Structure 1
Amino acid sequence: MGVLLRLPEAPELVERRWAGAPHAMGGRRARRSFTYQAFVPRAIADLDPRLQASLVEVVSAADQACRELNQDPPTLGNLEALARQLLRAESVASSRIEGLVVSHRKLARAFVESGQRGTASEVAANVRAAERAIELASSEDQLTLDALVEIHRILFTGSPADHLAGVIREEQNWIGGRQPNPSDAEFIPPPEEYVEPALEDLLAFMNRDDLPPTLQAAITHAQFETIHPFLDGNGRVGRTLIHVVLRRRGVAPHYVPPVSLVLAGRAGGYVKGLTAYREGQEEAWYGTFADAVEASARKAREFAGGVRNLQEQWFEQAGRPRPQARVRKLIAALPAHPVLDVRTAREITGAASQETARQAVNRLVEAGVLRQIGPRKKRNRLWECVGLFDLLDSFERELAPAGRAPRRTKEQ
């Protein structure tokens, strides 16, 4: 990578020369040499942001909304089931921002059916990367560069872009534009020699404990997107870092607020906010982000209540099974496993055999809690719980009524 450089105290543009490629496709403009300017962000490891009183209130309200979401444990189900479903909702929305659109039903099937390819498998990888990020935030005192690389590796391993998995870029990249060079790019991140020092500076900032958590998460996300340290996947990894900060700082010990759902529904404000951050109008971004955190946390709490009500309904339909009954164990786990097969049912219930697990599943089918989907063959049968996907769809519509993601710009 060559000589690594220190970040400046204030953002700056640096000039670099793009070497022409005489045989490149795309006409004269694609082949020529030219000078371009790349953006180098300021160092933030010791940043001391000063906020107006009105913004302090907005940030505090977002922190409090996260705490309230996490102070209300489920009465019938379990923490893991609800936490996993909220994380999946977050990952679906984060992927949608990048143009990867999949329904919750298809995503749930991707976790059960082996050999899945395409968009569902890519979004499932996003879920796994987010799960690992939150595990790291829960178990490690300090987030490291190796941990950050691991999150990216999980996102891309086994995908068509497997060769990019966990690889910090060693070349100039850019966002947007039609040319195979940055001549008409919408944004040019720092040159490659700044990337590792910028990441180390960012990690030092993330590992602090003296800032309001929502503010720290807002700066972390915007700074990561500005650095753009990978050739692809920066948006998805950057949004997992929001939850790393909120989990590490203790305001989201159980449930992540699905911030990406709000950001996807407010696409224009999201992009403008990140641009404002780079242009020195940080408070505009802080306000946009804090509003998204508060809204997602408030609605997530309502969603949690809806899941509890749905589980209570399933419980009644199943005849109020006793606490240790396999059927009750299935009901408690359904929000985390809304599509399941016999193998999954056996793991959940601890049944001694697949036939015993199948009996528990059949009882829930008879009660109207589960319905069979997919192939009719006994070996490959799948079931989905009744009502949860409708609840998820309603939850998404309320948080992101526009249903539109930002126009995806090309990452180079």
Structure 2
Amino acid sequence: MQSADDALEVPAVGSEPDYWVADSDGMTSRRAMAAASGPYERAVTPEIAALRLAIPADLVADLEEAAAALASFDRHAAAALGPESPTLGPMSSILLHTESSSSSQIENLTVSARQLALAQIDESTSVNARVVAANVATMEAALRLADHLDAAAICEMHRVLLSAQPGGEEHAGLFREQLVWVGTSAVSPRGAVHVAPHHERVPAAIDDLVAFMARDDLPVVAQTAIAHAQFETIHPFVDGNGRTGRALIHATMHAKGLVTRTTAPLSAGLLTDTSAYTDALTAYRTGDARPIVEQLVRAALFAASSGSRLVDDLAAQVAEGREALAATGLRSQAGAWKVLPVLVAQPVLNSRFLQERLGMNQVGAQRALDQLVAAGLLVERTGQRRNRVWEHGGIVTVLDAYAAGLRRR
């Protein structure tokens, strides 16, 4: 049981009073609508740019262990494939896809590896798959912008996320100009778990957060956890705050040089106990950052361990593919050898993808696909003469098994 001396004290979130007049949504009873109107309190986030942390000794040790585990994972992901391996780029991408899927699952957006891969080549009819694909693009933007983490970069991450989400274009990349809250009622903030600050406070709060993230005098994992909790407390956007906030975790760690070559599946670790994660955010708002720091420590250790196994399983699929191609006697210049490593990140693909991503012409792309089919590595899934797609079943199975393991936990 944590004692008061074990807490990691931060300024508690303040509040200010307001009055809410509820508008009927046509689905709420008159009695409930009457209760929905009335006084409520909205958050006022404290400034943290100059925050001084007194980190308990036991937590210091945990933070060092988590940072070491993430750095080790980053090295392992590169070493498992070789620093010059053409698979490293695709492997980094698939870890990013895995992380994006896990982050989306926290929002109850589940999608199979096959559907996500189909969405990546514009062949999926699944709305969830397209939304998760947008989350992948958001993670990519977060890493691309990591060296310039400011308000504009955060808005760009959000723009990428919501631009691909049905109905999200109106608010994409823009700080909100309305009240938002976290709770079960769609018509009233009264009784909500968290009522975000007034929208006029958002720009200054984000600037303060950016200044905090720019500091280099704090343990990276603790700094990242606090920055994430502060972002979720500000809740600067109408929608997509959770996924943008988890992308910010990776941008911060990348900017600090902790994980630079790959993407650790940190959201997969948070996904193993979402109740503890949301409780930790609540604790942060009451003035104790220890629970959210502990959640990120636990997620980091889980990500390093499970991510390493995932890397090994996927690398094994590539190694088996090389053996299968070699057994066919295929010459080293054949297109199939060029496509094989790409299958790690894109286990479902079509001829157009190879032409656009690998610069193949139509004949060359089709020849490479035929070679991979002949080697038993790809199976055509549509049975059609046109608009065909091919799938690497082994890689899809590995990715789905990883996701299923998260859900079981």
Pairing of 1:247-396 with structure 2 (within 5 A): 247-319=254-326, 324-351=333-360, 353-377=361-385, 379-396=386-403
> Is residue 146 of structure 2 the alignment partner of residue 146 of structure 1?
no
Q: Residue 143 of structure 1 aligns to which amino acid in structure 2? A: L
SS at 1:318 equivalent: helix
Please give the per-residue CA displacement for 1:205-255, whole angstroms capped at 9, x wherever unaligned. Answer: 112222222111111111111111111111010100000011111111111
Q: Is the 8 A contact 1:330 1:348 kept in 2?
A: no
| Superposed displacement of residue 55, structure 1 | 0.7
TM-score (norm: length of structure 1): 0.89
User: Which of 178, 192, 195 does residue 199 from structure 2 map onto?
Assistant: 192
Q: Is the 8 A contact 1:58 1:290 kept in 2?
A: yes
TM-score (norm: length of structure 2): 0.89
Question: 2:13 aligns to what?
Answer: 11
SS at 2:130 equivalent: helix
Q: Residue 144 of structure 2 aligns to which amino acid in structure 1? A: E
Change (3 A) 1:277 1:323: farther
Question: 1:407 aligns to what?
Answer: none
Please give the per-residue CA displacement for 1:280-338, whole angstroms capped at 9, x wherever unaligned. Answer: 22112211211111211221122111111111100001116565442211111111211
Question: 2:94 aligns to what?
Answer: 85
- Matched residues in 2 for 1:95 and 1:189: separation? 21
Question: 2:42 aligns to what?
Answer: 38
User: Which of 49, 56, 67 does residue 71 from structure 2 map onto?
Assistant: 67
Q: Residue 49 of structure 1 aligns to which amino acid in structure 2? A: L
SS at 2:190 equivalent: helix
Q: Is the 8 A contact 1:69 1:297 kept in 2?
A: yes
- Matched residues in 2 for 1:98 and 1:11: separation? 24
| Superposed displacement of residue 345, structure 1 | 2.3
Q: Is the 8 A contact 1:152 1:233 kept in 2?
A: yes
| Superposed displacement of residue 346, structure 1 | 3.2
| Superposed displacement of residue 394, structure 1 | 2.5
Please give the per-residue CA displacement for 1:90-131, whole angstroms capped at 9, x wherever unaligned. Answer: 111111111211111101001113584611111111111111
Question: 1:47 aligns to what?
Answer: 51
SS at 2:355 equivalent: helix
Change (3 A) 1:358 1:122: same
| Superposed displacement of residue 399, structure 1 | 4.3
User: Which of 201, 210, 229 does residue 217 from structure 2 map onto?
Assistant: 210
Q: Residue 27 of structure 1 aligns to which amino acid in structure 2? A: R
SS at 1:380 equivalent: coil
- Matched residues in 1 for 2:245 and 2:382: separation? 35
- Matched residues in 2 for 1:60 and 1:187: separation? 31
Unaligned runs of 5+ in 2: 1-9
Please give the per-residue CA displacement for 1:340-378, whole angstroms capped at 9, x wherever unaligned. Answer: 111222345443x3112211111111111111112512x
- Matched residues in 2 for 1:191 and 1:319: separation? 63
| Superposed displacement of residue 401, structure 1 | 2.8
Q: Is the 8 A contact 2:62 2:297 kept in 1?
A: yes
Change (3 A) 1:212 1:375: farther
Pairing of 1:216-231 with structure 2 (within 5 A): 216-231=223-238
